[in-house]
Amino acid sequence: MTQHADSPPTDAPSPEHERGAPTPGAPGVGRLVGLDLARGLAVFGMYAVHVGPAPGQDGVIGFLMELAQGRSSALFAVLAGFAVALITGRRTPKTGLAGRQAVAKVIIRAVILIALGTALTLTGTPVVPILAFYGLFFLLVLPLYRLGAKPLALIAAGWALVGPQLLYVLKPVVGDRVFPTFGQADGIVSLLFTGGYPALTWVPFVIAGMAVARCDLAVTAVRIRLALTGVALAVTGYGGSWLALRLVPGAAEAVRKAEQGSGMSSMSSMPSVSPDSIGIFGDSPAGMLAAAPHSEATPSIVGATGVAILVITACLAAMDTFPRLRRLAKPVIAVGSMSLTAYVYHIVAIWLLNTEEATVQRLYILLGFIASVTVLATIWSRFFQRGPLEWLMGRATEMARRVQ
């Protein structure tokens, strides 16, 4: 069985945000709900990648499946940065005892996510769980939590430019891409360099999320600038890749052959996919110009970051501006409010049901996954503020109060 990656955690699910009494610098209720809406959409996109129909087919379904590839996991990673900022002080980073306890909270969450992600990876499902990578992302960005929006944005941009090139140079040393099979787990080399979500090329998403969280999202002008930034990044990433592949002699043909050879239009659980044949891990240097999902190339990182910022700003604005829409979107918001639970739920379901071997149409499988998690989340949210795993995570992080 071949394993492939997309989305988390996915993440890719982000841990639950703080839901207690408002604190200085904390976003308003509408903006917190907007984050849950974005997480819910990311969950559905992740389900589409892992159990949905193959992308690239004609029609609306094919377009939506293609749209989810790579971008749902990138959205989770950007939201991870938002979660770090919420825990450590969104607009104004916490200092003193509060700061030390916030850092402890992030570390505890990271350790739990690494352990939980490792356990899911050992099941050998046909998808690559992002949670272990996600936990490592938390640890790697933690030293940056006191920085403001502009320094964080600059670091994210610089990392997106340098990280993929560095990974390409290190490839002869660290080896080719690795996807663990049953009973295997990602080691430190896989988590950092060769796995489904190598930290060297995925951390920019998290830092970008921290930068967005540092902005005053209550101000309409700020939201507009963020939306325009998202558009600019998407155009630069995807448009720049399209242009570069046509200006560099032989580049487009080399990438086309790599994609045809792998049967790849994206990274999913489809057995025909071989994601180690394009992008940074491909045989041709032209892969560094590819904006394909999980190519780990700079254009892919830049473009997916832009899409994630657009989705987040749109969700935040919609939830603050249209109360009626908030009521209509309540089931999706419920899923987003327990995205960690929803993520683990779908990995376990894939493992138990062996969906890769299912004969029923994959669209029906996808609809079943979405309907079941939506119903469960909606019912649960009527009685509890947090999802079951989110509640356990919250209890575990209470140990941070012991930090003096």
∠ at Cα 51 (45, 56), nearest 5°? 70
Report the pLDDT value the prediction gives residue 277, as an integer from 0 to 100: 56
Please give the pLDDT value at position 358: 61
Q: Coil, strand, or helix at residue 27?
A: coil
Q: What is the structure's pLDDT at 269? A: 39
Cα angle vertex 19, ends 13, 25, to 5°? 100
| Domain range annotation of the chain | 55-262+275-322
Mean pLDDT split into 10-residue runs, the chain, 404 residues: 43 37 40 88 94 80 88 95 92 90 95 95 89 96 95 97 94 86 84 93 97 92 95 96 87 73 41 53 83 91 97 93 90 95 95 72 91 97 94 93 86
What does the alpha-carbon distance between residue 375 and residue 334 come to, in Å, rounded to a whole number? Answer: 9
Res 273: pLDDT:
35
DSSP code, position 400: G
Where do we find the tokens 């996954």? 369
Could you tell me how far CA 369 lies from the centroid of its own chain?
19
Q: Three-state SS for 70?
A: coil
Our CA dihedral for 399, 111, 100, 400, rounded to 10 degrees, sits at: -10
Instruction: Provide the pLDDT for residue 125.
Output: 87
Question: Do you find a cis peptide bond into 23, omega within 30 degrees of 0?
Answer: no
* pLDDT score, position 285: 83
